[in-house]
Structure 1
């Protein structure tokens, strides 16, 4: 059973900055809610309340919503109209595709003087003789019934024949009540038999298939069971998708602890290996929201998560993580990560022995897996501080 919780209401009130005390419109459709509760205490300023496509069986706990103008309870399990007398501002009431057989229950709406639109399409009561004339005569304040305009002449004619039509309606709904009681017993018996057959099957998929293949009647009990099995199906799909994601999660480290190089998202990148820092340029999608990007800089590797897909690169030299910076271009969307090296002074001499001091790595075809040596390094020009002792290099 799904309940109306404060967390759910706040989630649905994002357009009002998640404030529920001043909320004027609330949509809780398709949530498998079975009971109306709390709303009249939390959201007393509501003018529009949408509760269609749920499993609500009774109209209740709404009498404090004095400002409510539009109530939508279409596609629920409601069997009678009730508890709406104190909704003074109610203008439109939608009860499409419910199970209302007690048509005389609409008489509780006589005091709702502002009510102008009533929709009962798809309810059993719509098949009763003189249905439209009875509703029109009972609720003369209506301007529209089942999305059809009610003319003044129709109202006057319905008033004249109201008593005779009501007698017919009462007899028809009494017959409906008898049929409904028989239906409840029949549906309960079939459900017991089906559950006994399903209990003999071990495979869950086969049990679910047996339910969907079984014949059923159109009634509140069946609609509730259908919602239950729809929920099971959704949970099963979510579990399977989660398992697939867990299965696809790549190994991030070798058995020895060395970080792997990964590029799940297949993003273009360029790495500059300067003498004092690494600079990584990552080709993030231009219109991707920055909230979808996560960066983790560790002493010997950097990891970037883009919409859950990982890019990871390891380094041979340690990084000074406290001074690393991450920036994103507002024009191209590219991510620029600057990572200063930890032991810069110690590496100057070692670097000077190499033929070049710039090594660039790129994901392009021309530069993939290769390095470019650019120029030579003069140790005297680098270490021009008098306090630094520069040892002689041995050829």
Structure 2
């Protein structure tokens, strides 16, 4: 049984920023709902309510919707028109293809003074003799009945002989109620017989509880005897066997479809789909087109590029597309489905571009071709000499580990490119010695560089 939940209503209020207290229109059709509830408390400002194509057997919990103007309850299991007196603003009521047999219940709509349109097509009451005259006479505020305008002459004819029409309608209504009582009894007996048969099949035909071995043997036999042809035959018998058009038969058909759907889901759970192979064990790339999209792969000789045009769905959001360009193949994920293709030539993934057409929605990939082939180079082993040199460096590595300071030594005798002669500039290229030669001590040059009034005190220690 499906219930009306707050989450269900909020998901249908996206146009109202998911706010349900101020919602004016909500559509809850095709949800297999079996009862109207909560809507009158959550959405007091509702003006339009769609509940068609469900399994609702009764009109209830809508009397608080004072602003409700249109109520659609087509294709449900309603048998009586009731509980609509509180809908003061109701202008249109659609009860197409229901099971309304109590035509006298139409008189409950007299309090809905704003009601102008009523649809009862496909209900048993429309087959009553004097149906249209009775409805037109009972609801003077109506302007349209079953899509046909009510003229002034129709009202005059409906008012003439109204008592006779009412008497005939009530007689046909009583006959309909007796027939419905028989149909309910037959449906109840059928349901009890099916339940009893299910219990017998589970417990065994001899009435005793079978053992585990007997259960296993029985299940194996049933699996062997059951085939696809038998299932098709049972389906054909179920849908082609004539039955009366009643709420019970409609519920039975719904349950049958629901069981079939659940059986398919169980089969899928038992047999999970094996993942598709994109790249084989030996490294061969497979061509895959899971979304079944049209495509075209061309080579542009002038621009030296490879162009892939993928016919992606026009109104699909681009965030649902993921592109992966490799040198030898292209992989595109469209809503989780993989499209993969081997390229005719090696391309440059970093220079490739992906664009989406705003008119057609196609995905266009432009991939420039690589100039040369990509090959794997073999690693050349080092000669033994390199290993010896590495062994010779081990003591130095140990010093580095022990944090021993090292000094950089420059040996001029070796072939070095360092020119120490040009570090200090000369005054002239002809003088020869450097400028620093003037600062040599007196012992080396034979003269003092001190001033004339300088007195050397031997008690004063030297500066350096």
TM-score if structure 1 supplies the norm length? 0.68
Work out which of the residue numbers 304, 321, 338 in structure 2 matches 1:309.
338
Distance 1:8 1:330 in 2: 36
Distance 1:242 1:337 in 2: 41
Q: Residue 293 of structure 1 contacts residue 306 of structure 1 at CA under 8 Å; is this kept in 2?
A: yes
User: Judging changes above 3 Å, is the alpha-carbon distance between structure 1 residues 244 and 360 closer, same or farther for their aligned structure 2 residues?
Assistant: farther
User: Judging changes above 3 Å, is the alpha-carbon distance between structure 1 residues 173 and 287 closer, same or farther for their aligned structure 2 residues?
Assistant: closer
User: Judging changes above 3 Å, is the alpha-carbon distance between structure 1 residues 255 and 196 closer, same or farther for their aligned structure 2 residues?
Assistant: farther
Unaligned runs of 5+ in 1: 272-278, 339-356, 362-395
Q: Residue 74 of structure 1 contacts residue 95 of structure 1 at CA under 8 Å; is this kept in 2?
A: yes
Distance 2:166 2:306 in 1: 81
How far does the alpha carbon of each residue in 1:283-318 deviate from its partner, in whole angstroms, 9 at most, with x for none? 4336643233124699x998531341242789xxxx
Given the alignment of the two structures, is residue 359 of structure 1 paired with residue 372 of structure 2, yes or no? yes
Distance 1:122 1:329 in 2: 50
Question: Does 1 or 2 have the higher relative contact order (CA < 8 Å, sep 6+)?
Answer: 1
Pairing 1:330-349 to 2, within 5 Å after superposition: 330=357, 333-335=363-365
How far does the alpha carbon of each residue in 1:75-119 deviate from its partner, in whole angstroms, 9 at most, with x for none? 211010011111111111111111111111112111100001111
User: Judging changes above 3 Å, is the alpha-carbon distance between structure 1 residues 119 and 294 closer, same or farther for their aligned structure 2 residues?
Assistant: same
Q: Residue 94 of structure 1 contacts residue 119 of structure 1 at CA under 8 Å; is this kept in 2?
A: yes
Aligned residues: 331
User: Judging changes above 3 Å, is the alpha-carbon distance between structure 1 residues 68 and 325 closer, same or farther for their aligned structure 2 residues?
Assistant: farther
TM-score if structure 2 supplies the norm length? 0.59
Given the alignment of the two structures, is residue 228 of structure 1 paired with residue 271 of structure 2, yes or no? no
Distance 1:337 1:3 in 2: 54
Larger Rg: 2
- Structure 2 equivalent of residue 285 of structure 1: 311
Pairing 1:193-212 to 2, within 5 Å after superposition: 193=193, 203=226, 205=231, 208-212=235-239
Q: Residue 138 of structure 1 contacts residue 162 of structure 1 at CA under 8 Å; is this kept in 2?
A: no
Say what the alpha-carbon RMSD is for the aligned residues.
4.2
Q: Residue 208 of structure 1 contacts residue 229 of structure 1 at CA under 8 Å; is this kept in 2?
A: no
Distance 2:100 2:240 in 1: 27
Structure 1 moving runs of 4+ over 6 Å:
238-245, 323-326
Q: Residue 47 of structure 1 contacts residue 69 of structure 1 at CA under 8 Å; is this kept in 2?
A: yes
Shift of 1:359: 2.9
Moved more, 139-148 or 236-245: 236-245
Shift of 1:172: 2.6
User: Judging changes above 3 Å, is the alpha-carbon distance between structure 1 residues 179 and 157 closer, same or farther for their aligned structure 2 residues?
Assistant: same
- Structure 2 equivalent of residue 25 of structure 1: 25
Work out which of the residue numbers 276, 280, 284 in structure 2 matches 1:250.
276
Pairing 1:82-121 to 2, within 5 Å after superposition: 82-121=82-121
Pairing 1:1-395 to 2, within 5 Å after superposition: 1-193=1-193, 203=226, 205=231, 208-235=235-262, 246-247=273-274, 249-252=275-278, 254=280, 260=285, 262-264=287-289, 282-285=308-311, 288=314, 289=316, 290-295=318-323, 303-307=331-335, 308-311=337-340, 327-330=354-357, 333-335=363-365, 358-359=371-372
User: Judging changes above 3 Å, is the alpha-carbon distance between structure 1 residues 295 and 97 closer, same or farther for their aligned structure 2 residues?
Assistant: same
Distance 1:310 1:45 in 2: 49
Unaligned runs of 5+ in 2: 202-221, 300-304, 375-464
Shift of 1:196: 5.8
User: Judging changes above 3 Å, is the alpha-carbon distance between structure 1 residues 127 and 306 closer, same or farther for their aligned structure 2 residues?
Assistant: closer
User: Judging changes above 3 Å, is the alpha-carbon distance between structure 1 residues 232 and 48 closer, same or farther for their aligned structure 2 residues?
Assistant: same
Shift of 1:236: 5.2
- Structure 2 equivalent of residue 346 of structure 1: none
User: Judging changes above 3 Å, is the alpha-carbon distance between structure 1 residues 9 and 312 closer, same or farther for their aligned structure 2 residues?
Assistant: farther
